[in-house]
Structure 1
């Protein structure tokens, strides 16, 4: 997929992933899935052991990323994913590991 300019109907997905998700390649794996979908954003470890994922793009593509996070086919082991939806801010370029 190619990067497209931020559209008015784009959304921002913030997901907090709990489980054995730090030090197992989870952020790298998430970055790969997001780039395949053409999403912008980032993934970072949090101090409490979770991974926070922020992704912007079309709602259906963000839904697909969320589904991948919950798929059971990630590095490590995901116990739970909590999601929050909002309007895209349009200030993200590419997808990075923080």
Structure 2
């Protein structure tokens, strides 16, 4: 039997941890299935609501799509911003 490191508490109640400190992972993808809010929020309703918020100026997405690259430069840019250095960009845009 291995020894626990001294930095751990003498009593570590996994039962309590499992019931009171549940991790809830939330993803920022509205199109993932299964949708936990279905049927109140169908995919169509989500798309219509997001489009309405965007078109009425309630959502500012300018800082999310950066950099914006030309179609001709998209293979190299994809490699740089998505494959090699994803921390440099949230979403890469492509103009064509």
TM-score normalised by length of structure 1: 0.23
Higher RCO (C-alpha 8 Å, min separation 6): 1
- From the two aligned structures, give the one with the greater strand fraction: 1
TM-score, normalised to structure 2's length? Answer: 0.24
Larger Cα-atom Rg:
2
Higher helix share: 2
